[in-house]
């Protein structure tokens, strides 16, 4: 579809590109479209053309995707929105567009008249839009009706029937922020959904963690869909406030949340294209038969709780960080925390505050960034009070962040972290002088790629680093060789007296948790979950360019994975919900670039 967008000088480069792009797309000329990109250009698509979450790298991959998708998706009506910006030779512009079945948003970065990065996202399905704003329900029918069924009665009937006399379209296993955010999206799209969660109440997965736990990223980064945190919400929310918020959110969003419910097993019925999910709901065993099954099990899987030689003879207490009750019972006792990630730092600091003698065992170098520095030099342009005042809403921030392909994210992140390293040089020098082993990631790009690769190896400092620099939290280095009755012994012979050993040793792949429910054969069919394939120590290749198997189709039909931090739960829940809604409505969803299977780790 051809259109002319005429304009100010700032708009001209984007308008010219969009005009040429639109003509080439309308002609279904994949090679002509790809020639409008730089040789190393990127097209990231969030289900708009590919019904997948995928990044095409270079003209050849872009052309191949277009040859496979243009005819079916029929994208068009690309229109520049607002005023493009120009910085350091890069023109950025927002676009709207349509496909055969939906409406979307695009983000463009131009260099010398060609696209360097291009993001396309599906925002809504035509005829199946979210029930909000001018489409919101009335809530009450005015007038007299002797057969009136009130809102409350309808809701009670739904809670009574769903899962019993009628089956849901979707079951989400896991009721943390990921499952709740997705449940809210599906509710607005009219997709019948049950969330099953082994904890009793929404938010208990937060409440049950160690008492000093709080979010290390700021409130502007952490909103849930539709309902933002209030303006008086703490910048760094304590775990119990998050728990209360999730419980409230679940109720007001009218989610069908089955607490005290354990998913026991799931089997896919290929003949009927549905799952048979056996659950235990507060002692009652039921079989649910959804068409779609979503594993919303967090960022990670089972706790990596090592069993060192001699663990059975250790006379003190030992547990994984996920089971740590808090510091109260350990005043005056000797604690050894194995690991140097976020939870290790938090637990060490809380134990020190309560009078414990604390030693952290650092097994590998760790990226540390002060919380204030992260906000100022990395998150502030998108997620801060200043960003809000500048008119950058959460959706715009999310899409701007999503517009950066993972392959080149280091180019966007490294400059900010270089500034942090320079401005906080004294802070880092003090840590290194205390013996703490620092890094800034494999490519010096800091926090985000470390998290995306496997979610470990970093600490957002909210106080523990000062304790380490001052020697209040002691440091030891290396691997554990054994436990004695009263000691942790390292491979270099160091002996650490201990009444308590906390294993802050991270978690395995979400695939492992899923295997307990869907079986190892299906888990192996799906392959790795999480990680980019960046060929680093915790994220072996091959390169995927996207989080493996997250928020998109997998090799197992009708099985999905959802999760991540609050930001990812919010942002990607929309695209997963739209994929599920399309399937519920029988809209064709030919998937381009389905992820290949790689062995789990």
Tens digit of pLDDT for each residue in 249-294? Answer: 999 999 999 999 999 999 999 999 999 999 999 999 999 999 999 9
Q: How many residues does the chain have?
A: 601
Please, what's the b/e burial string for 315-353 (b: 16 or more CB within 10 A of its CB; e: otherwise)? ebebebbbebeebeebeebbbbbbbbbbbbbbbbbbbbe
Average pLDDT over every residue of 186-206: 96
Task: Give dist(CA 77, CA 239) in Å, integer.
Answer: 45
Six-digit token pair at 142? 């005015």
| Phi, psi (rounded to 5 degrees) for 384 | -170, 170
Instruction: Tell me the C-alpha distance between 351 and 332, whole Å.
Output: 10
Mean per-residue pLDDT, 432-437: 96
CA 11 – CA 92 distance, rounded (Å): 10
Tokens describing residue 381: 């342009």
Q: 412: which DSSP letter?
A: H
What's the CA gap between 510 and 232, in Å, rounded?
35
pTM of the model: 0.94
Strands 495-497 and 37-46: unpaired
Q: Cis (ω within 30 of 0) for the bond into 542?
A: yes
pLDDT of residue 513: 86
HEC string of 358-405 equals EEEEECCCEEEEEHHHHHHHHHCCCCCHHHHHCCCCHHHHHHHHHCCC
pLDDT band at 601 (very low <50, low <70, confident <90, very high): very low
Question: Quick one: what percent of the chain has pLDDT higher than 70?
Answer: 96
C-alpha span between 353 and 330 (Å, rounded): 10
* pLDDT at residue number 535: 82
Q: At a CB cut-off of 8 Å and minimum separation 6, what does 396 contact?
A: none
Q: What is the reported pLDDT for 368?
A: 94
- Residue 571's CB: how many other CB atoms inside 10 A? 23
**Phi, psi (deg, nearest 5) at residue 401:** -65, -40
The span from the CA of 92 to the CA of 155, in Å, is 46
pLDDT of residue 8: 59
**DSSP line for 248-270:** HHHHHTT--EE-SEEEEEEEEET
Report pLDDT for 299: 65
Contact status, residue 180 vs residue 225, Cβ threshold 8 Å: no
**C-alpha triplet 210, 242, 345: angle, nearest 5°:** 35
Output the pLDDT for position 4: 42
Query: Which of helix, strand or coil describes residue 94?
Result: strand
Residue 300 scores a pLDDT above 80? no
The arithmetic mean of pLDDT across residues 99-128, rounded, is: 98
Share of the chain above pLDDT 90, in %: 78
Judged against a pLDDT cut of 90, whether residue 399 lies above it is answered with yes
Give the C-alpha separation, 361 to 478, whole Å.
7
Compute CA distances 590 → 559, 594, 596, whole Å. 16, 10, 16
Report CA 91 to chain centroid distance, whole Å: 29
Q: What is the 3-state secondary structure (H, E, C) of 542-588?
A: CCCCCCCCCCCCCCCCCEEECCCCHHHHHHHHHHHHHHHHHHHCCCC
Over residues 31-47, the mean pLDDT reads 98
499 C-beta neighbours (distance < 10 Å), count: 17
**Secondary structure (3-state) at 277:** strand
Report the pLDDT averaged over residues 366-395: 93
Alpha helices in 162-304 (DSSP H): 177-188, 204-207, 239-252
For the CA atoms of 341, 175, 521, 582, the dihedral, rounded to the nearest 10 degrees, stands at -120
Query: In this structure, what DSSP letter does residue 466 have?
Result: H
- Residue 44 is classified by DSSP as E
Residue with tokens 């131009």: 110
Task: Tell whether the model's pLDDT for residue 444 goes beyond 90.
Answer: no
Residue-range domains of the chain with CATH: 12-125 (3.10.450.50), 152-301+508-584 (3.50.50.60), 317-503 (3.50.50.60)
Give me the pLDDT at residue 506, please. 83
How many angstroms separate the CA atoms of 408 and 406, rounded? 5
Question: Residue written as tokens 């792949």?
Answer: 509
Count of CB atoms situated within 10 Å of the CB of 541: 12
Environment class of 4 (CB within 10 Å of its CB; exposed 0-12, middle 13-18, buried 19+): exposed
Instruction: Report the DSSP beta bridge partners of residue 114.
Output: 111
**What is the reported pLDDT for 455?**
54
Q: Residue for token digits 């090799």?
A: 555
The whole-angstrom separation of Cα 466 and Cα 477 is: 18
Between 211 and 560, name the one with better pLDDT.
560
Position 553 pLDDT exceeds 90? yes
Secondary structure (DSSP) of 134-176 = GG---SS--S--TT---HHHHHHHHHHHBTTTB--SEEEE--S
Q: Which pLDDT value is given to residue 285?
A: 97
Q: How confident is the model at residue 301 (pLDDT cuts 50, 70, 90)?
A: low
Question: How many angstroms separate the CA atoms of 256 and 246, rounded?
Answer: 13
- C-alpha distances in angstroms, 47 versus 53, 92, 181? 6, 22, 19
Q: Torsion over CA of 420, 423, 425 and 428, rounded to 10 degrees?
A: -40
Say how far apart CA 177 and CA 202 lie, in whole Å: 9
Average predicted confidence (pLDDT) for the chain: 93
pLDDT at 2 over 60: no
- Residues 495-540: tens digit of each pLDDT: 999 999 999 998 877 788 899 999 999 999 999 898 888 887 778 8
> What does the alpha-carbon distance between residue 197 and residue 207 come to, in Å, rounded to a whole number?
14
Handedness of CA 536, 538, 541, 547 (dihedral sign): negative
pLDDT digits (tens, 9 = 90+) for 339-363: 999 999 999 999 999 999 999 999 9
Query: Which of these ranges, 156-170, 208-222, 427-441, has the smallest mean pLDDT?
Result: 208-222
| Cα–Cα distance measured from residue 125 to residue 99, given in angstroms and rounded to the nearest whole number | 9
């Amino acid at each position: 579809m051809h259109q002319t967008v005429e304009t100010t000088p700032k708009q001209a480069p984007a308008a010219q590109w969009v005009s040429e792009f639109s003509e080439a797309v309308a002609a279904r000329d994949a090679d002509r479209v790809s020639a409008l990109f730089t040789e190393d250009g990127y097209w990231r698509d969030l289900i708009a053309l590919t019904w997948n979450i995928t990044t095409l790298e270079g003209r050849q991959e872009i052309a191949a995707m277009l040859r496979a998708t243009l005819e079916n998706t029929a994208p068009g009506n690309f229109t520049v929105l607002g005023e493009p910006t120009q910085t350091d030779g890069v023109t950025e512009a927002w676009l709207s567009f349509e496909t055969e079945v939906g409406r979307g948003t695009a983000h463009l970065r131009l260099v010398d008249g060609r696209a360097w990065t291009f993001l396309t996202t599906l925002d809504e399905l035509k005829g199946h839009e979210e029930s909000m704003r001018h489409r919101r329900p009335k809530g009450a029918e005015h007038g007299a009706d002797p057969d009136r069924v009130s809102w409350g009665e309808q809701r009670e009937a739904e809670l009574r029937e769903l899962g019993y006399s009628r089956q849901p379209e979707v079951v989400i296993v896991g009721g943390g922020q990921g499952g709740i955010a997705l449940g809210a999206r599906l509710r607005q799209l009219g997709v019948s959904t049950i969330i099953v969660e082994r904890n009793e109440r929404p938010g208990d997965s937060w409440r049950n963690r160690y008492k000093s736990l709080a979010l290390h990223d700021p409130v502007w980064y952490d909103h849930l869909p539709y309902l933002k945190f209030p303006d008086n919400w703490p910048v760094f929310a304590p775990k119990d406030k998050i728990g209360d918020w999730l419980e409230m959110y679940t109720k007001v969003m009218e989610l069908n949340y089955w607490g005290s419910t354990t998913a026991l097993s799931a089997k896919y019925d290929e003949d009927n294209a549905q799952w048979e999910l056996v659950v235990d709901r507060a002692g009652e065993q039921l079989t649910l038969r959804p068409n779609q099954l979503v594993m919303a099990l967090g960022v990670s899987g089972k706790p990596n709780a090592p069993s060192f030689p001699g663990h059975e003879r250790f006379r003190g207490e030992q547990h994984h960080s996920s089971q740590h009750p808090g510091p109260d019972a350990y005043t005056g006792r000797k604690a050894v925390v194995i690991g140097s990630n976020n939870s290790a730092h938090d637990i060490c600091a809380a134990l020190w505050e309560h009078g414990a003698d604390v030693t952290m065992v650092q097994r590998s170098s760790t990226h540390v960034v002060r919380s204030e520095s992260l906000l100022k030099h990395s998150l502030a342009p998108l997620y801060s009070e200043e960003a809000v005042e500048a008119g950058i809403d959460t959706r715009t921030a999310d899409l701007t962040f999503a517009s950066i392909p993972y392959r080149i994210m280091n180019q966007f992140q490294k400059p900010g972290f270089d500034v942090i390293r320079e401005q906080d040089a004294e802070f880092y020098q003090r840590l290194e002088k205390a013996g703490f082993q620092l890094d800034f990631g494999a490519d010096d790009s800091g926090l985000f790629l470390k998290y995306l690769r496997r979610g470990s190896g970093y600490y957002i400092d909210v106080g523990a680093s000062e304790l380490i620099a001052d020697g209040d939290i002691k440091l030891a280095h290396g691997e554990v060789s054994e436990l004695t009755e009263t000691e942790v012994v390292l491979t270099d012979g160091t002996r650490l007296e201990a009444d308590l050993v906390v294993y802050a040793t991270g978690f395995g792949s979400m695939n492992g948790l899923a295997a307990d429910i869907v079986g190892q054969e299906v888990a192996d069919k799906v392959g790795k979950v999480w990680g980019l394939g960046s060929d680093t120590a915790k994220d072996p290749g091959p390169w995927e360019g996207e989080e493996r198997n997250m928020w998109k189709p997998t090799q197992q039909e009708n099985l999905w994975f959802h999760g991540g931090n609050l930001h990812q739960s919010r942002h990607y829940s929309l695209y997963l919900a739209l994929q599920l809604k399309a399937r519920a409505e029988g809209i064709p969803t030919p998937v381009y670039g389905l992820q290949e299977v790689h062995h789990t780790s």
